[in-house]
Amino acid sequence: MEEPISIVVIGVGGCGCNTLNRLYEVGATEDVLAVAVHTEAVHLQSVKIPNKILIGQT
C-alpha cells in the first residue's frame, strides 16, 4: 500500500502570499498544507489561508 504524499506550499512575501490566495480561491489548497510568510502583519491579514508566519517587526 502506498503512503499518501505530503505537500507543503510556502508563500513568501507579497507575490507568494498573493499566489496562495489565488490557489485558495480555486480550491487548490484543500489537500496541501499552505503557509504564508511575510514581514508585514497587514499583508498577512489579507491572506485567506489560516497558517501564517510573521517575520520581522513591521
User: Is residue 15 a part of any domain in this protein?
Assistant: yes
User: Is residue 18 a part of any domain in this protein?
Assistant: yes
State the pairing for strand pair 52-54/33-38. parallel
Q: How many domains does the chain have?
A: 1
Instruction: Tell me the per-residue pLDDT of 15-40, one tens digit each, with 9 for 90 and over.
Output: 999 999 999 999 998 889 999 999 99
User: Is residue 1 a part of any domain in this protein?
Assistant: no
- Strand stretches in 1-58, DSSP E: 8-12, 33-38, 52-54
Give residue 58's pLDDT. 58
Domain that holds residue 50: 8-54
* Residue 57 scores a pLDDT above 90: no
User: Is residue 2 a part of any domain in this protein?
Assistant: no
User: Is residue 3 a part of any domain in this protein?
Assistant: no
